Structure 1
């Protein structure tokens, strides 16, 4: 059987991918390799019979060894966002190592339309896609839409005050859950599509802020008023709340991207890969009602 390696295996997406490989795609634990900067955090996966390897994208010398003997490699984008350019360098290190190690197929978690996206980290994804294509390795690119899960970071606070300050205007976004993105990644890793392909993973409907707020409000049983502000006001409010500069830039740019219509994209790619429809935003919020309560 093919050896499948998942980087970032201790992260939320990585762990979900491995769970879906085992439970949904029915891949044997002995065919899975979990990689992380700190393999001590993968002890529970090792107990399941999964091989664990150290893979630190900031240390390119060790990556070729980490990827040795791997047939299919899932590169999960790292969380290095504070230093401009650092994330792209990490990803490039991983792609170069995969090429040197003779990996048979590379999969990568990207974002929708990175070539025109206003999101602060879009250049990291575009640059990584370009590096993968330039490597000559067979590839599958998975462009994950904005996660449903991202709302859980801010909505409890918004519900507490009854107001959601946003700069998305009339823009719409077709959110998808992190778990569904993991399900699709596991499916593509277990049975990669023929040829070099790019899939954009979205929900089945695109919603504006008022529609999202209504969905949140019904699930939480609390009123939520949408207050539209401009990008500068949004950024100033987040900075005043003590958020780090790079987080402020990321969140403000994400709202700008929604307002520009760049997240207003619905595809059937998730169903193509998994054979099922993605979870709706309504069902996601109902499932996470406790988290909305803060």
Structure 2
């Protein structure tokens, strides 16, 4: 039987890039790709190209059984269910169990760098999912520990450019960002690669940057100076709450700064090049490409 590559979360931003690179970079036939989503109606463009479209909901066992049928390689993209602590891990474990039951030959999962003992409040979701995959009887699996996307910087850049101040609890900690498109490229490459029993890749950019270094590059591109102001984590939380974020969500976001300060996102690997044969896009070139977007954020 022809190998079938199934991508969950295919209507999301990363899922779209994975399917794009399966088709355009890896040259996989559309009929060999299954794009699965809770919102299959958003995948009509892929269906028009001949990609198989299926509904999948990690809270619905029957949908997973139907979606995973005949799929030989399945990519589980971690869900965005962060508003209910612990529920994402329940979803992921259910998806792993469904893949195992369906006889999936190779399971791939999008995780994060160093999830064990991480300061990040949702790291246990990734740690627990990795453990479930390792304990399963699925013959081959690949863990993709993805560093933060360049695009995540936009959440900090917007308020910083509007006010001129970037409030940070990360100190001199660094982040080895990588673009979402590069993550999609590497993930597609991992999907089509020959099965390896147990493989962990940590996908990072080729350089790492402190918040001050990021702010300096963004300032130059936008034409407005950003001053990084060091604050304690609790001060960061209260600032976000004051700006309208629910406190539990603010604490999750603040824990990212704690993790950065602890060096949890600073590591640089060559795993992206190992998978793709190319170097990842640099943070500098991405910032330059977003100059107009940054300028539009200035108050």
Query: Shared fold by TM > 0.5?
Result: yes
Equivalent in the alignment of 2:188: 186
The 2-side partners of 1:186 and 1:246 are apart by 34
The 2-side partners of 1:208 and 1:67 are apart by 42
Equivalent in the alignment of 1:67: 68
Deviates more, 1:154-163 or 1:85-94: 154-163
The 2-side partners of 1:62 and 1:25 are apart by 28
1:141-156 maps to which residues of 2 (within 5 A)? Answer: 141-156=143-158
The 2-side partners of 1:13 and 1:227 are apart by 32
The 2-side partners of 1:116 and 1:268 are apart by 24
Equivalences, count? 294
TM-score, with length taken from structure 1: 0.97
**Contact residue 81 and residue 246 of structure 1 kept, 8 A:** no
- Unpaired runs of 5+ in structure 1? none
Displacement, 1:157?
A: 2.2
**Contact residue 141 and residue 196 of structure 2 kept, 8 A:** no
The 1-side partners of 2:51 and 2:210 are apart by 42
Equivalent in the alignment of 1:77: 78
1:1-294 maps to which residues of 2 (within 5 A)? Answer: 1-137=2-138, 138-192=140-194, 194-292=196-294, 293-294=296-297
Displacement, 1:49?
A: 0.4
The 2-side partners of 1:40 and 1:192 are apart by 32
**Contact residue 213 and residue 226 of structure 1 kept, 8 A:** yes
TM-score, with length taken from structure 2: 0.96
The 3 A distance-change label for structure 1 pair 210 and 154 is closer
**Contact residue 231 and residue 256 of structure 1 kept, 8 A:** yes
Q: What SS does structure 2 have at the residue aligned with 1:214? A: helix
Displacement, 1:147?
A: 1.2
- Unpaired runs of 5+ in structure 2? none
Cα RMSD over matched residues?
1.1
The 2-side partners of 1:207 and 1:39 are apart by 38
The 2-side partners of 1:41 and 1:67 are apart by 19
Deviates more, 1:163-172 or 1:148-157: 148-157
**Contact residue 166 and residue 226 of structure 2 kept, 8 A:** yes
